[in-house]
Amino acid sequence: MAKDEFREFKLVGTRPDRPDGLDKVTGRARYGADISAPGMLWGAVVRSPHAHARIVSIDPSKALALDGVKAVVTRADFPEGLTGEDWNLQENTIAGERALYDGHAVAAVAATSKLLAEEAARLIAVEYEVLPHVIDVDDAIKPDAPVIRAGAADASVPEGMPPNVVRYMDFGRGDVEAGFAEADLVMERSYKTEATHQGYIEPHACLGQLGADGKGEMWVCTQGQWYIRKMCTAVLGLDASQLRVTPSEIGGGFGGKTTIFMEPLSLALSRKAGGKPVKIVMSRSEVLRATGPTASASMDVKIGLKKDGTITAARAEFRMQGGAFPGAPVDMALYCCFAPYNLTNVAHVGYDVLANRPKCAAYRAPGSPMGAFAVESLLDEMCRALKIDPLQMRLKNAVKEGDKSSYGPRFGSIGLIETLEATQAHPNLSIKLGPNQGRGIAAGYWFNHNGETSVSLAISEDGTAQVSVGTPDIGGSRASIALMTAETLGIGYEDVRVNVVETGALGVNEPTHGSRATFASGKAAVIAAGHAIKEMCRRAATEWGIEPEAVEWVNGAAQPAGPNAGKHPPMTIAEIAGKMGQTGGPISGHHESVPEGVGASFGCHVVDVEVDPETGRTTILRYLVVQDAGRAIHPAYVEGQYQGGAAQGIGWALNEAYIYDDKGRLANPVFLDYRIPVASDLPMIDTVIVEVPNPGHPYGVRGVGETGITPPLPAIANAIEDAVGVRMAHLPMSPATVLAALKARG
Amino acid sequence: MVAVHLWSSLTRFTDGARVVEVEAATVAEALKQLVETHPGLGPILDGGISVVIDGEMVPNRHTAIEPGAEVYLMQRLKGG
Amino acid sequence: MSKIHVTTVVNGDAVEFLADPRETLLDCLRDRLGLTGSKEGCGTGDCGACSVRLDGTLVCSCLVLGVEAEGKQIETIEGMADGATLHPLQRKFIEHAALQCGFCTPGILVAAKALLERNPDPTEEEVRFWLAGNLCRCTGYDKIIRAVLDAAAEMRQEAA
Amino acid sequence: MRYHTPSTFRDAAQIAAGASGVTRFLAGGTDVLVQLRAGAVIPDDLIDLKKIAGVYDIARTGDGGWRIGIAVPGIALGAHEALRAEWPGVVEGMELVGSTQVQGRATLTGNLCNGSPAADSVPGLVAAGASVEVTGPDGQRTVAVQDIPSGPGKTSLKPGELISAILLPARGDHAGDAYLRFIPRSEMDIAVVGCAVSLRLDGDTVTEARVALGAVAPVVKLVPAAAQAIVGTALDDAALDKLAAAASAACAPIDDKRGTIAFRTEVAGVLAKRAAKIAYSRAKGDRA
């Protein structure tokens, strides 16, 4: 299908009501905790109160003595011999010899009511021998730090590195020292960011059932039902195809629901309780203590800049802890941190370090916000020192199509320059600021991702269409996929129903992650619709007695392609569909692939703040997000992604952080003290959708979900310096830290 | 010949070479040859990597590599 | 533990259920009455996803015991539309794309309805502070605030 | 857990006095239910006070003060125009407790009995010179509000005793009060520091003052030295600086997840100044 076929759109780019809107404003939509089953039990999880402890014994006898308690599981109920990431997942699901962080699951119990299960969990006696722990990444990387797991380092780690370093990487090109020598100004700074949580409002919830025959079912809130299937069956030693996983509506994920936590426990409890379904719903405190925060980071950056704004060389060394397991996104942070800039001399070094914290999960552009905080902060400080306009500096160094990325490969079509130009043109930049007010700017980047994708489309008897996708709808992807499908088929938006289906209904799909749902499922749906169109053209051709190639599809109908094909009135999709039983049977299309043609997305944010010099409080006065969407299929939900990403970044910048006490226990596992932005913290968030179409997608889509969380961290730090002249190098920039910086400056 | 660009810390396994030339028509062949000539890369490649050809992330190991193409190995990418 | 018999009115319908005195009103609505539109996001009164009206007052149903519902009138998201006719707030939320995942939406709608009954012409700031106890992690609140203000304007016009 | 709904305070006191396990009184429930749900405190006996007559009333007392029922939620307190006109600082302290939803339930009495040094409604009551009526198995007594908290999460109430009303004194003329707190966000946080100031003027001169600080010591603290700093002044800059210094000097805070010693000490002074200015302008007749 030629791209140019779609220059004029009927539906793409419009803002219809989302298909699941009615269910979601009436309370009918069913989320993870909203389903119950006949004979259902409730599960509860016993969690370690220690950051690091040997599990001496687990005595469930008092719990099992209660009437209505049906099963208790421990690690002994799980198979041995797993390796690699399967072992990590199993160990994180339920602790083996040692509890590795505060909140690590140690046992689980199923009972006939929620209250009874909670009471039984309190009665399971666990004896611990407390071991030394380590929390901070700079402490964890010391040679004499408590060892989280000997032998966890992979082949990338050279001999002689500290014991908690489990992955090491360095890469780059050119000669950074020569580059620094060419610069008019070379600066080197260190930065830190604390761990934050995705903070989805819906706690993890699942309803699992598993029989002694190894066949099971699960209802669960997840970004990816196939990931749940693959991971649960790996952890439990089952055949993947025997577990059927149905995704509920999902109350936010942001990457945090791309993995498993208590799901295998519900299956193990169910099997032990004779196959009765077991529902487990996490409390908020369990969510914060035991599910995917992001990594915390300690970063050194050195940059050389000429007076004309040219970056001559750049070097980044990042250390990140992602909990007690390998997987901190230090690689992604390094790849993204210099990505907006066309560099000749660049070097990156990264360490993935273990600490006694929960296993980090993906969080919106994993790694990119931390790296951007360091690099974009330093660039701003240097522009200030050389009196260079920070936007001009970025334009001067901005990457464009064909440039080599900082991490190696060349960029395809990208829209950074267009994004920076749109930023420059925005009226917010000419608003005058008052005392103690400041403006900050920063750029951000995310690759975007494709992933295994399987979509099936079927034409119904009345000429409407249903599309089955495997990517749960978190932020309006049903609407965008329906728009693209309807546009392709030439039918109405309301004539398409997009269903997010269970694992039994399609081939394997990766989750809704990597900003891929509208790109990948959308592209597959368009290709599937093309197959259905081809078939419908064939049916019309047969009816008319002409060659299929002589039929074209226009406005939802088959018609002869030119005068030589004969005079036949167009045959509409409804007419073709109505007769499909007599013309060869059902009409459908499907597509399976890892779709190529991912388009990266750059963004640029501008924030105006006011800082109270007496209390250190930062108020966001104005916020602007400019980002390349390729093409916005449903602009309202593109704006929603921009605004939501900015809000999460603002929270990360100002007030969100994992706070541990001296025993390594999470001190703030409630929304009262894990401070995500509330409605009164934020202004309206202005958006500009830049559209540099992605040639790798039939409608030009780039993923838009993730980039937006990246620039706020440095943009706000830059605005604070502009307002009150202090440079904040450690997130969060809470009132106490800003006030302390103001006092220290005197 | 196809030039495969490695990240620097892999040079421990390639006698210091950041770019390794291989005779390969597909991604799978390129990876196989890399491990044959530099066995130390085996565990890294098995651990999961992303292959980028001329700026395009190529998940399919059967993808053909045109002569003269620029091939990069990167840590495995996904998202949140 | 012995359960207590509770008689109450939910969305205009008389209902009764047996509650363990430790159970919250939210648990009773969801697990005893099958009204799962009210959500639990925190269990500590910090997120507002469980917002309901108790004798007209906006409360977090996770901070009310089920047994306290005895003899009261309760309104939940399930009672917000008038049959098939959506409340203007519900329509405006769809129209303005004021929801992404939709999990916080029922609580926000119930809270916003209580606001507009008290104050039919709120400022942006008043809406933001009234809804400060309703956490949304997806939207950055922008479209939520716009939807509430637009619904208020429409309702004022209808009333005039 | 046994759930009780006594119809008099005397009955409530007797149930509590006769109970052997963990007992909790239920007024608004916004602390009790959180602790119950978290499994932190699961009472053996829960005594719901909301069926007692008069607990939702706000009534003028014979001496021109106010008697506030123990179940009056923040939203009702805030809606009481006459009370707000006389004691805006007390009312705004209560209104800062939690969200709109929490305001539908949370009460002055519960906020006080929870024993938190950061309780937003308590500094205003202390600055106002408020007292509480305490009912026990053996009768009633009146206690100054500042004597109720005895440490974080602790009160001076004896077993079987409970608060049966909050009592505010008569406001009198040319007087005003104000409460300010500092939180990291704009809403929904626990006070990092709180400060209430109540004062009376003769012309432009402050003749009486009470200053109370929250979240800077194990209990809400009345700071006479801070009051002394502004009595006899027209709240000029020198007096405000002295007030701030006295407020900061009275702080004995801790470092915790919500704030640091240095920050609390510094900001206590900042808030004292700002609250004093508001109270002063209210005493002058401004209704903001």
For chain C, list the domains and their CATH numbers: 4-79 (3.10.20.30), 88-159 (1.10.150.120)
Which candidate from D2, D36, D99 shows the least CB-CB separation from C133? D99
CA neighbor of C102 nearest in space, from C61, C144, C62: C144
Nearest to D29 among C46, C58, C63 (CB): C63
What are A628's strand-pairing partners? A690
D257 located within any domain? yes
CA of A430 vs chain B CAs: smallest distance (Å): 35
Q: Any chain B CB within 8 A of the CB of A175? A: no
Task: Write down the pLDDT at residue B1.
Answer: 84
Whether C4 has a pLDDT exceeding 50, the answer reads yes
User: How many Cβ atoms from other residues are within 10 Å of residue A426's Cβ?
Assistant: 15
pLDDT at C1: 57
Tell whether D270 is covered by a domain: yes
A-chain residues near D259 (CB < 8 A): 736
Taken in order D67, D69, D72, D74, the sign of the CA dihedral is positive
Nearest-CB residue to A201 (from C90, C104, C124): C104
Distances (CA, A) of D234 to A288, D239, D275: 50, 8, 15
CA A239 → CA A233, A242, A273, distances in Å?
6, 6, 20
B abuts D (3+ Cβ pairs < 8 Å): no
pLDDT greater than 90 at residue A68? yes
- Residue-level pLDDT at B9: 81
Amino acid (1-letter code) at residue C130:
W
Q: Looking at chain C, how many residues does it have?
A: 160
Per-residue model confidence as pLDDT tens digits over D130-159 = 999 999 998 999 999 999 999 999 999 999
- Give chain D's domain count: 1
How close is the nearest chain B Cα to the Cα of A182, in Å?
24
Location of structure tokens 């399919």 = B60
DSSP one-letter code for C141: S
Do C95 and C75 contact (CB within 8 A), yes or no? no
D189 in a structural domain: yes
Per-residue pLDDT, A5: 46
Is the pLDDT score of C141 beyond 80?
A: yes
| Residues with pLDDT less than 70, chain D | 287-288
- Sort out which chain C residues have CB atoms less than 8 A from D105's CB and list them: 57, 59-60, 63-64
CA angle A315, A321, A325 (to 5 degrees): 130
Interface contact flag, D39 A122, Cβ < 8 Å: yes
- DSSP letters for C62-84: GGSBGGGGTT-EEE-GGGSSBTT
Closest alpha carbon to A647 in C143, D229, C55, B47: C143
Chain D residues with beta carbon closer than 8 angstroms to that of A675: 184-185, 188-189
Place of tokens 């577990």: A243
H or E segment to which residue A303 belongs: strand A296-305
* Span A214-259, pLDDT tens digits: 999 999 999 999 999 999 999 999 999 999 999 999 999 999 999 9
Per-residue pLDDT at B47: 78
Confidence (pLDDT) at A20? 97
Residue tagged 């009206």 (tokens): C53
pLDDT of residue A607: 98
Best residue in C3, C47, C57, C59 for a mutation probing chain D (most D CBs within 10 Å): C59
Q: What single letter denotes the amino acid at residue C34?
A: G
Angle of CA points D259, D263, D269, to nearest 5°: 125
The whole-angstrom separation of Cα A353 and Cα A320 is 6
Nearest to A366 among B55, B58, B79 (CB): B79
Q: Do A408 and B79 touch (CB under 8 A)?
A: no
Write out pLDDT tens, residues A654-688: 999 999 999 999 999 999 999 999 999 999 999 99
Read off the pLDDT of residues A341-362 as tens digits, 9 standing for 90 and up.
Answer: 999 999 999 999 999 999 999 9
Query: Taking all residues of chain D, what is their mean pLDDT, rounded to a whole number?
Result: 96
Residue D3's SS3 state is strand
Task: Let me know if chains B and A touch, i.e. at least 3 Cβ pairs under 8 angstroms.
Answer: yes
Terminal alpha carbon distance of chain C: 54
Q: What is the DSSP letter of A467?
A: E
Helix (H) or strand (E) holding D32: helix D32-37
Contact D33 C22 (CB under 8 A): no
Does residue D121 sit within a domain?
no
Asked, for residue D252, whether it belongs to a domain, the answer is yes
Give the closest of C24, C51, C114 to D33, CB-based: C24
Within A183-224, residue ranges assigned H as helices are: none
Tell me the chain D residues in contact with residue A671 when contact means C-beta distances shorter than 8 Å.
Answer: 188
- Distance (Å, rounded) from C-alpha C86 to C-alpha A186? 61
Amino acid (one-letter) located at B42: G
- In this complex, which chains have at least 3 CB pairs below 8 Å with chain C? A, D
Q: Do the Cβ atoms of D184 and A655 come closer than 8 Å?
A: yes
Pick from C46, C90, C138: which is nearest to A671 by CB?
C46
- Which residue segments constitute the domains of chain A, with CATH numbers given? 3-29+450-593 (3.30.365.10), 367-448+599-745 (3.30.365.10)
Number of residues written out for chain A: 746
Q: How far apart are CA A715 and CA A380, in angstroms?
A: 9
D136 phi and psi angles, rounded to 5 deg = -130, 180
Residues on chain C touching A221 (C-beta within 8 angstroms): none
A with C: how many residue pairs have Cβ under 8 Å apart? 186
Q: Structural domains in chain B?
A: 2-75 (3.10.20.30)
Region A307-336: mean pLDDT is: 97
Q: Which of A496, A466, A698 is nearest to A590 (CA)?
A: A466
The mean pLDDT of A629-650, rounded to a whole number, is 98
pLDDT (0 to 100) of residue A566: 87
Give the nearest chain B residue to A403 (CA atoms).
B55
Structure tokens at C112: 């916003």
Model pTM score = 0.97
What is the side-by-side order of every strand in the sheet holding C4-10?
C13-19, C4-10, C73-75, C51-54, C57-60
Chain D residues whose C-beta sits inside 8 Å of any chain A C-beta: 37-39, 182, 184-190, 192, 256-260, 262-263, 266-267, 270
Structure tokens that stand for A108 in this block: 């689980």
Neighbours of chain B (3+ CB pairs under 8 A): A
More confident residue, A60 or B16: A60
Which chain B positions have a beta carbon within 8 Å of A705's beta carbon? 79-80
Alpha carbon of A678: minimum distance to chain B alpha carbons (Å): 22
Helix (H, G, I), strand (E, B) or coil at A206: strand
Contact A278, A209 (CB under 8 A): yes
Residues 642-701 of A with CB under 8 A from D: 654-655, 659, 667-668, 671-673, 675, 677-678, 680-681
Structure tokens that stand for A456 in this block:
């099936």
- What burial class does residue A7 get, using C-beta atoms within 10 Å of its C-beta: 0-12 exposed, 13-18 middle, 19+ buried? exposed
Q: Measure CB to CB from residue D263 to each of A122, A668, A739 and give the nearest one.
A: A739
Taking an 8 Å cut-off on Cβ atoms, the answer to whether A363 and B77 are in contact is no
Question: Alpha-carbon torsion D76, D82, D84, D87, what sign?
Answer: negative
Chains C and A touch, using 3 or more CB pairs below 8 Å = yes
Picking from B9, B34, B63, B78 by the largest number of A CB atoms within 10 A of its own CB, the best residue to mutate is B78
Q: Is residue D197 part of a domain?
A: yes
Q: So what's the pLDDT on residue D286?
A: 78
Question: Cβ separation of D185 and A678 shorter than 8 Å?
Answer: yes
Q: How, if at all, do strands B56-57 and B49-53 pair?
A: antiparallel
Structure token digits, residue D175: 């007087």
Percent of chain D with pLDDT over 90: 97
B72 vs A contacts (CB less than 8 Å): 408-409
CATH number at residue D238: 3.30.390.50
Q: Which element (helix H / strand E) includes A41?
A: strand A41-47
**How buried is residue D198: exposed, middle or buried, by Cβ count under 10 Å (0-12/13-18/19+)?**
buried
Mean pLDDT score across all residues of chain A: 97
Inform me whether the pLDDT recorded for A260 exceeds 60.
yes
Note whether residue D136 is domain-resident. Answer: no
Q: Is residue D217 part of a domain?
A: yes
Q: How far apart are CA D197 and CA D211, in angstroms?
A: 5
What residues pair up with A187 in beta bridges, in sequence order?
A: A303
Q: How confident is the model at residue A563 (pLDDT cuts 50, 70, 90)?
A: confident
Q: What is the mean pLDDT of chain C?
A: 97
Task: Choose, out of A154, A166, A170, A171, the residue to mutate when testing the contact with B (most B CBs < 10 Å).
Answer: A171
Distance from CA of B26 to the nearest CA of A (A): 16
Distances from the Cα of D19 to the Cαs of D5, D13, D16, D32, in angstroms? 15, 10, 5, 17
Q: How many residues does chain D have?
A: 288
Determine the average pLDDT of the residues in A122-146: 98
Q: Is the pLDDT of residue A4 over 50?
A: no
The answer to whether the beta carbons of residues A250 and A271 sit under 8 Å apart is: no
Whether residue A594 is predicted with pLDDT greater than 50 in this model: the reply is yes
CB A73 within 8 Å of CB A94 = yes
Tell me how close the Cα of C155 comes to any Cα of chain D, in angstroms. 22
Residues of C in contact with A251 (CB under 8 A): 39, 41, 101-104
Supply the range of the domain harboring residue D235.
175-283
Handedness of CA A723, A725, A729, A732 (dihedral sign): negative
The rounded percent of chain A whose pLDDT value lies above 90 is 97
